[in-house]
Amino acid sequence: MPFIRVSYLEQQYEACQLERVSQTIMSALVRHFHVPEDDLFQVFHAHKSEEFYYSKNYLDIERSDELLYIQIMLKSGRTRKQKTNFYEDLAEQLSKTIPMRKEDVFIVLVDSEFEDWSFGNGIAQMLQRSGRGDMAHREIVSSARESFGEFAPAFVGYSEDVLFGDLWRREQLSLRDRSMITVTALVMGGMTDELPYHLRLAVENGLKSEELVEAITHLAFYAGWPRAASALQVAKGVFLSDSAEALV
């Protein structure tokens, strides 16, 4: 659910180049943030010189009049690593497809929540869908490939094709519900190694950190106090670390 604004000096880019900018941004969003390919909402603004200002060397980056301001509003929950990888990849791809200087790629990500969006009809569609099965079709990328790569290709394949490619995308449960069920199962089983990934995924799927902490607290009386304590220690590390990174 990203909304993208691209601003530039008039006469710096031709229509065909702007079309490639649009496509390149969308491709990077799909790769790094798993945005649906048809979730496309972008506006491009050409500005006169008296409307367009920038520092030519702030932070020792030499900018030119080909500067692109790319502002992307999207759902919160992406990790610092996802964001930094996105910046690097988008700048690299734009430098090749336009082509343009990477120094002239200025990106701003603006986090938002489901209640901050209305796609039409005066309705907060994402707020409604976050609690139902409507979002079950969204692709989720498994961490198995990053963890095991070519060491266990069959395991990676089953994780990507069956677990996250099929089961997680079934519409009978929302992604929010599936995340809550998965976190509960991991806590109950004392499987803390898998918790960091699924806690972050749960936030991406609409659960708040305080909701997850409360769920683990509730489970202390059913899963056992030591397992809940271990899970809370993991959650503390994940949420405090992510909060700190968001401030950097």
36 is catalytic: no
Measured in degrees and rounded to the nearest 5, phi and psi for residue 45 equal -125, 120
Rounded CA-CA distance 78/188 in Å is 26
Digits of tens for pLDDT over the chain (248 positions)? 799 999 999 999 999 999 999 999 999 999 988 888 889 999 999 999 999 999 999 999 999 999 999 999 998 767 788 899 999 999 999 999 999 999 999 999 998 887 888 999 898 887 766 554 444 456 677 788 888 888 998 998 888 888 887 788 777 788 899 999 999 999 999 999 999 999 999 998 889 999 999 999 999 999 999 999 999 999 999 998 765 554 44
Structure pTM?
0.58
Q: Are 40 and 26 in contact (CB under 8 A)?
A: yes
CA dihedral sign of residues 6, 8, 14, 15: positive
Determine the length of the chain: 248
Number of neighbouring beta carbons within 10 Å of residue 206 = 23
Catalytic residue, chosen from 2, 36, 153, 196, is 2
Query: Which one, of 144, 146, 113, lies nearest residue 130 by Cα?
Result: 113
Contacts of 90 (CB under 8 A, 6+ apart): 24, 25, 28, 70, 105, 107
